[in-house]
């Protein structure tokens, strides 16, 4: 792991918070235009979760491993084995299977375990990183 510079928990968490606020605000504006009212309760629904998962899955493939929050924090998702840009298969496995399906199947317990793995493992990889064959790198 000599050439890898894995990003730690705090910067990854900060990037996630930035992403959530940006995407929920943008989608909130769209929903406001469509419905004529704004409520933050729509972010608790399945529609938001599916759109957010789609964003997390597709944008890194199109944008060389970045999503908005990661770009701002100067970290990016890379393939673990060869340090190349992620593919759509990497991102489906990471986001859809590793974060969405596994989190549902474990009733959220995998989120806590992944967080601890990112904090304590030398390679800073969580469950979703192992499933997707990825890691998050500092630029």
Q: Are 95 and 128 in contact (CB under 8 A)?
A: yes
- pLDDT on residue 124: 97
C-alpha count within 13 angstroms, C-beta hemisphere, residue 118: 22
The structure's pTM equals 0.88
Helices (H) and strands (E) in the chain, counts: 7, 2
> Which residues on adjacent β-strands are paired with residue 136?
77
Residue entry with tokens 């599916």: 50
pLDDT at residue number 46: 82
Domain boundaries in the chain? 9-138
Give the pLDDT mean for 85-109: 96
pLDDT, tens digit, for every residue of 10-58?
Answer: 999 999 999 999 998 888 888 788 877 766 666 677 888 888 999 999 9
């Amino acid at each position: 792991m000599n050439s890898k510079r894995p990003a730690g928990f705090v910067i990854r968490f900060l990037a996630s918070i930035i992403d959530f606020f940006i995407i929920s605000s943008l989608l909130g504006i769209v929903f406001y235009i469509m419905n004529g009212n704004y409520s933050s309760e729509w972010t608790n629904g399945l529609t938001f979760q599916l759109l957010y998962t789609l964003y997390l899955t597709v944008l890194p493939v199109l944008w060389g491993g970045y999503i908005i929050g990661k770009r701002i924090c100067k970290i990016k998702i890379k393939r673990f084995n060869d340090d190349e840009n992620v593919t759509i298969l990497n991102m489906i496995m990471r986001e859809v299977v590793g974060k969405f399906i596994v989190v549902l199947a474990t009733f959220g317990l995998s989120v806590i375990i992944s967080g601890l793995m990112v904090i304590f493992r030398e390679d800073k990889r969580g469950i979703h990183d192992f499933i997707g064959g990825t890691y998050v790198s500092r630029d």
